Amino acid sequence: MQQSLIQLAKAAPRVKAPRPTSRAPRLSLEHFIQRQRVLSLWRTIVRSIYKTPKDRRPELLAYAKGEFARHKHVTDLSQIRYLISTGKTEFDQPRDDVYGPYDSSYLQPSAPLTHTSSPIVTGTSVLGAKFKDGVVIAADNLASYGSLARFTDVKRIRTFPPNTAIGFGGDVSDMQYLDRLLSSLDIRENYLASAEHRLNAKNLHTYLSKVLYKRRSNFDPLWNQILVAGLDEEGKPFLASADLLGTTFSAPTLATGFGAHLAQPLLRKLAPKDEESVPEITREQAVQGVRECMKVLYYRDARSMDKYSIAVVTKDGVELSEDESLENQSWAFADQIRRQLQVQNSAPTSSGRTFGGQLTRLDGAAPSFVPPSTSPPPSTAGSENPQSTSQKQKQSRHPKQRQRKTSVSRSAAPDIATRIHDDIGHAAAERSFKLLFPVAPDRHHAPFHVDGQLAVATLKLLIIATKRMKNARNCDDECARLERNRNLALALHISDDHTDDHVPYSTATLTAYLQDVAWAHKQEELLRLFAADENEKRYRFKPMKPRQRAFLHSLAEDFGLDSESIDPEPHRHVILFKTPKFVAAPMKTLAQAARLRKSQLNILAPVENVAKKAVKPQFNGFLLARPRFALTEDELWPVVQKAAPNTAFSISFLSNEQGIALIPTAQETDIATTLLTRLQPSLSAEIIKAKLAGTVNLAQFDTTSVDTRVVHVQDTQTADSSGGWSQVAAKKAAPIMTARVAEPVDDK
């Protein structure tokens, strides 16, 4: 019975137990990454809540729990992003009561970002070398804050499975950005790629070089220089670099930073034949060479330290050690440098050059200091050899017998002043003085009598002349140019105060210069430096606005340079080229040219003065312009009588709204002009004060016809009563209009 039940159970079909289904749907990689950000944000929010006062914590916790509970299994990416932004806005910021209001101006900056234009926290050299089975790479663990060794545990080598190591040099913040980028790439590769197709070192180098080049093209470069070490798709050793410009380079040995100058000469000894030497290099040789180079960098580079990381990449994987220390350090060469400066009596070599000791080698193992052979001081008599003692005894026996001084040749110059100068320069001044003042055994037999005061005065003059001749500087090209100009001015009878009024710049250039003098002055300096440099043939400006590019085109044309605008907006910029037609930059600056032609520019719009010989019109009345609406003669007459009680006027209302004419009766033309000129200030003040008219001007009327007609009106700018109320009213009513200059357009 039991056996039949067992057979029946075996024959029955097996039914698998159902798996417990998860409430969360299957997520893509992007959803997964966003959900990870949500969880990280939740932890940040909880930490921020517990920093708030206790009375606010329950309310904030309830809000956060409710908000996250509603979005616990969100699948829409837009809702996840909204949740993240809401959480950051509400919680991920400093407290206002402690740190002040939160500054959100960085979200919409008014100026380009400049925080990566000058790196502050930086890492120094990264070294790499190939050997027959792989690559070795090393970098120290120091991140310097300027010149300060601030952070001493910064790992600058990152591994990427399965066979790649990446070393970072330069800005640490940009290094962290690239590290996050590589972490995202690693997650994506683990999620999507198969085991047969993995990224190798060559693929990662291409990816990083493209990232660096794109950031450089966006004018926001990553200030790093990277070494990528590993194996390529064929399993061969791979070592290449990429800098902030996206420039790539591959070689058997590479170094960044100061290592390119200090360590690269030592690394080249490992591979003297470049790629042909790699199969001959063993792993031990490569590691030992890199360690020696790290020691040299610690000795010579102020940004290096004695703690470093080293990674060896082979087909079996990456062996990374992050706590290496330098061994067998020797600072003997420093003692040698210090003592070499103190040695005065050094042993001369065969060539006559003094040698102060043993020179150091460019190697990690510094040699011990070997002091030079120096002669003992005179006080140590016991250490002298017998030969030197006997020589001194001979000299003491014959004190009068001394070595004869080497004769100094006298100058053979044709004139005596030059001979004196040369002899004094060669320490033969006594001969020069003997030439001037020969000493005879008897003063009666002397060739001429020498006065003592005259000799002293002449000697002083000679000393002064000699000093001036010594201090005289040779005439260079600029001196010769000034001398030629002076000779030409003398020949052509040109005075010294003559000024050249030639302006080598176009009106468009000067107009644009006056619109923004400070900026234009800087651009002019750049152009002059470019024009003065004979080696530079091309200069590229930064992207700028069309108006600024137009100024550069106009200025380049005045300099004789070719210019061109390239790239689309907003990256459009100007490039200058030197062509055969270019000779030199103009001698006058833009500021000097603007002062010379200031009166010719339309920007200032000067008001032309009335010619002195212009015929003055004969005024015979006043013109009341812009009279008050519905003004009557009865309202105007009392005001006129108050201002001019002794003069009778006839009032005429002109047609076409020209105004009102006040013409004196029974007056000669010359007398009327003088009278009206004297009455204008008081009459104008009374009428404008009573608000009867806008302005009161002298005018010439034609009264021969039935209707009074205006022939000429006084010019308010040249009126004799320019200080009266009429002038003030005229300025307020009709301001002077200046010509508007059209802005230049970028037509290139």
Q: Which residues are catalytic?
A: 116
Closest-CA residue to 576 (of 561, 566, 586, 557): 561
Helix (H, G, I), strand (E, B) or coil at 124: coil
Quick count: other Cβ atoms within 10 Å of Cβ 400?
Answer: 4
Q: In the numeric block, which tokens belong to residue 97?
A: 């009561």
Distance CA 108, CA 680 (A): 61
Annotate 468-501 with three-state secondary structure: HHHHCCCCCHHHHHHHHHHHHHHHCCCCCCCCCC
Per-residue buried b or exposed e for 247-272, using 16+ beta carbons within 10 Å of the residue's own CB? ebeebbbbbbbbbbebbbebbbebbe
Strand order in the sheet with 562-566: 538-540, 573-577, 562-566
Distance CA 474, CA 601 (A): 45
Quick count: other Cβ atoms within 10 Å of Cβ 488?
Answer: 10
DSSP code for 182: H
Distance CA 526, CA 560 (A): 15
162 preceded by a cis bond (ω within 30 of 0): yes
Per-residue buried b or exposed e for 64-103, using 16+ beta carbons within 10 Å of the residue's own CB? beeebeebeebeeeeebeebbeebeeebeeeeeeeeeeee
Q: In the numeric block, which tokens belong to residue 243?
A: 């800098």
Residue 548 is which amino acid? Answer: Q
Closest-CA residue to 135 (of 24, 18, 25, 239): 239
Q: Are 225 and 257 in contact (CB under 8 A)?
A: yes
CA angle 3, 8, 13 (to 5 degrees): 145
Q: In the numeric block, which tokens belong to residue 109?
A: 């900056």
Site of tokens 């200090």: 262
Q: Are 687 and 639 in contact (CB under 8 A)?
A: yes
Distance CA 502, CA 588 (A): 9
Helix (H, G, I), strand (E, B) or coil at 138: strand
DSSP code for 25: P
Quick count: other Cβ atoms within 10 Å of Cβ 312?
Answer: 23
Q: Are 329 and 295 in contact (CB under 8 A)?
A: yes
Closest-CA residue to 570 (of 539, 546, 537): 546
